[in-house]
Structure 1
Amino acid sequence: MLLTLTTTHHPATDLGHLLVKHPDRTHTFDVPVGTAHVFYPEAGERRCTAALLLDVDPAKLAAQGRGRGRHSATTPETFTLGRYVNDRQYAASSLLASALSRVFRSALRGESRDRPELAGTAIPLEVRVPVLRCRGGADVAVRLFTPLGWAVTATAVPLDEAYPEWGDSRYVDLTLTGTLRVADALNHLYVLLPVLDDAKHYWVAPDEVDKLLRAGAGWLGDHPERALIARRYLAHRRALAGAALERLAAQRPVDEPTADDDVDEVPARAGGARASL
Structure 2
Amino acid sequence: MFLTISLSGDAANPATDLGYLLHKHPGKAQRFSTSYGTAHVFYPEADDARCTAALLLETDPAALVRRGKGKGRGGAPDAALAQYVNDRPYAASSLLAVALSGVFSSAMRGVCAARPERAAAPLPLRIEVPVLPARGGAALVRALFEPLGWRVAAEPVPLDTEFPQWGDSRYVRLVLASETLTLAEALRHLYVLLPVLDDAKHYWVSADEVDKLLRAGEGWLPGHPEQQLITSRYLSRRWSLTRQAREALELVRLAEADDSEVEAIDNAVGEETEAEE
Same fold, TM exceeding 0.5? yes
The residue type paired with residue 119 of structure 1 is A
Residue 73 of structure 2 contacts residue 79 of structure 2 at CA under 8 Å; is this kept in 1? Answer: no
One-letter amino acid matched to 1:26: A
In structure 2, what is the Cα distance between the partners aligned to 1:129 and 1:135? 15
In the alignment of these two chains, the number of paired residues is 254
Corresponding residue SS for 2:194: helix
What fraction of aligned residue pairs are identical, expressed as a percent? 57
1:109: which partner in 2? Answer: 109
Task: Say if 1:143 and 1:75 are closer, same or farther in 2 by CA, change over 3 A.
Answer: farther
Paired position in structure 1 for 2:149: 149
Q: Residues 75, 256 of structure 1: CA spacing in aligned structure 2 closer, same or farther, 3 A cutoff?
A: farther
TM-score, scaled to structure 1: 0.88
How is 1:21-170 mapped onto 2 (pairs within 5 angstroms)? 21-66=24-69, 74=74, 79-170=79-170
Shift of 1:74: 3.4
Aligned to 1:177: 177
SS at structure 1 position matched to 2:38: strand
Unaligned ranges ≥5, structure 2: 259-277
**Could you give the per-residue CA deviations for residues 22-59 of structure 1, whole angstroms, max 9, x where no partner exists?**
00001100001100000000000100000000001111
Counterpart residue type for residue 175 of structure 1: V
Structure with greater Cα Rg: 2
Distance 1:123 1:86, change over 3 A: same
Tell me which of the two structures has the higher relative contact order, counting C-alpha pairs closer than 8 angstroms and 6 or more residues apart.
1
Question: Given that residues 38 and 53 in structure 1 are in contact (C-alpha distance below 8 angstroms), is that contact kept between their aligned partners in structure 2?
Answer: yes
Report what 2:267 is aligned to.
Answer: none
Note the aligned Cα RMSD (angstroms).
1.9
Report whether the alignment pairs 1:251 with 2:252. yes
Q: State the 1:138 CA deviation.
A: 1.0
Residue in 2 aligned with 1:266? none
Q: After superposition, where does 1:222-237 map in structure 2 within 5 Å?
A: 222-237=223-238
Q: Which residue identity lines up with residue 201 of structure 2 in the other structure?
A: K
Residue 117 of structure 1: CA displacement? 1.3
**CA–CA separation in structure 1 for the residues paired with 2:78 and 2:27:** 41
SS in 2 for 1:220: coil
Distance of 1:94 and 1:255 partners within structure 2: 30
CA contact (8 A) 2:138 2:155 kept: yes
Gaps of 5+ in 1: 258-277
- CA separation of 1:76 and 1:89: change in aligned 2, threshold 3 A: farther
Conserved? CA contact 2:127–2:175, under 8 Å: yes
Aligned to 1:196: 197
